[in-house]
Structure 1
């Protein structure tokens, strides 16, 4: 009931992820991309066209802030046509882009050129996240793997860390 696709920071398209879930015998599944419902239409279409569809639940992992903590709320059974929700998620995407640009600027000042463009290429149409930066930095030899990238560059107090700018949980 918590999975990500290429609509956010996952590595499989909604169709690929749904197909894998069905092949593994999953009977109920939720796609809960970060701050977007953008992959759900594709997933529902793929599910409807599959010989053995599963129960697909509309979801989203909403990034928020509570005091000084990052809180991610997994919402399930969402109305993905709700105007208020869609407006909120559009605003979240804009906030993610501002943060992503600042991460790129900080990494460039530290001598890591091309990180923003490289991470953006990995993200494709998805909102750029720290996960995309971590993949690019690891792939380009700045660390051995993604966890090392976070420890070295993207964690609080490190070169590429930018505090989140999410809305308050309330």
Structure 2
């Protein structure tokens, strides 16, 4: 339920969670919107599906997911900053 999801995000962020998968082949468009909004509200980094297995085997083909909404901070940007800082 939406209330349970909100509680999960609250707890996750409260214990130090840093990021959430906003887009995946198994998320519906409404779910993607909710996860993007939650990432923003809780200051979480965002990622997109990375669970590709093989052509024709996964729900979404490699590279077919939409880009993350521009307001979100992608996990890979935060990791790049950490790597550059050493």
Q: Please, what TM-score do these two structures have when normalized by structure 2?
A: 0.40
- Mark the structure with the bigger radius of gyration: 1
Q: Please, what TM-score do these two structures have when normalized by structure 1?
A: 0.25
- Larger RCO of the pair (alpha carbons < 8 Å, separation 6+): 2
